[in-house]
Amino acid sequence: MVQKQYIIKRQKGKHLTLSERGKIEAYSNMGLSKTEIALRIGVSRRTIQREIQREWVSGLLTSELDTYDTYVAQTAQRKYEEKQNSKEGNLKIGKNHKLMKYLECSMLQEKNSPYVALEKAKKAGFLVNICLKTLYNYIHQNLFVEFTEEEMVYKKKRRKSKKKIEKSIRKKGGRSIEERIKEIEEWMNTYPRKLWNGKSSKEMHAEEFTTYLC
């Protein structure tokens, strides 16, 4: 059990700092469980699990040239800063970090849908300069630090395209109309015109079709 002096209360929705990532690395190397690390940092176990899985570095070398895998705080912080800088480019949300943090916390911690998160941000007095479609694009482009598409509570199901099935009218135990018409045409070309009383091929088709359906 983690001692009470190690349990820290942390501001909700705040992103991990370099110092906190350093603690995650140290505690992880000490063999502490994700639950114990979460209590010591003041975040949820899910946050620690997601952070370690996302920033896990493989193939590092020891002094004896042996490879090992671990969580590296510096690498995690660098990726975080790169992602933050990418938001300040040509994105509509620009440098509105407070809105980004609020939306991420609303969707991740409070389990709100993107629509609800936007509406709550407007009511809370935030300058909301993006629409719902833009917010979905940010999620799909993985521009949030912790919130990903997999975290979405309500996921849109993509419609599967229905394959058109060609149907042919068949008599039970018989052949298709196309096969019957082909036989009629072959018969008409084989026998003299007088045998079918000078009727046109169209008339013969009509008679044969009527007989076939009866």
| pLDDT, tens digit (0-9, with 9 covering 90-100), for 119-132 | 999 999 988 888 89
Q: What is the pLDDT of residue 26?
A: 92
Last residue of a domain, one of 28, 45, 74: 74
Mean pLDDT of the chain: 74
Are 40 and 23 within 8 A, CB to CB? yes
Each residue of 92-119: pLDDT tens digit? 666 677 888 899 889 988 889 999 999 9
The answer to whether position 158 is within a domain reads: no
Please calculate the CA angle 41-47-53 and round it to the nearest 5 degrees.
115
Q: Domain check: are 8 and 68 in the same one?
A: yes
The answer to whether position 167 is within a domain reads: no
Q: Which of 126, 57, 124 has its CA nearest to residue 93?
A: 126
The answer to whether position 157 is within a domain reads: no
What contacts 24+ positions apart, CB below 8 Å, involve 134-141? 134/92, 134/93, 135/103, 138/91, 138/93, 139/114
The pTM score is: 0.43
Each residue of 33-80: pLDDT tens digit? 999 999 999 888 888 988 888 888 776 666 666 676 788 888 888 888
Q: Give the Cα separation of 33 and 6 in Å (integer).
A: 14
Domain limits for position 118: 88-151
Q: What is the pLDDT of residue 37?
A: 92
Q: Which of 7, 13, 70, 73 has its CA nearest to residue 36?
A: 7
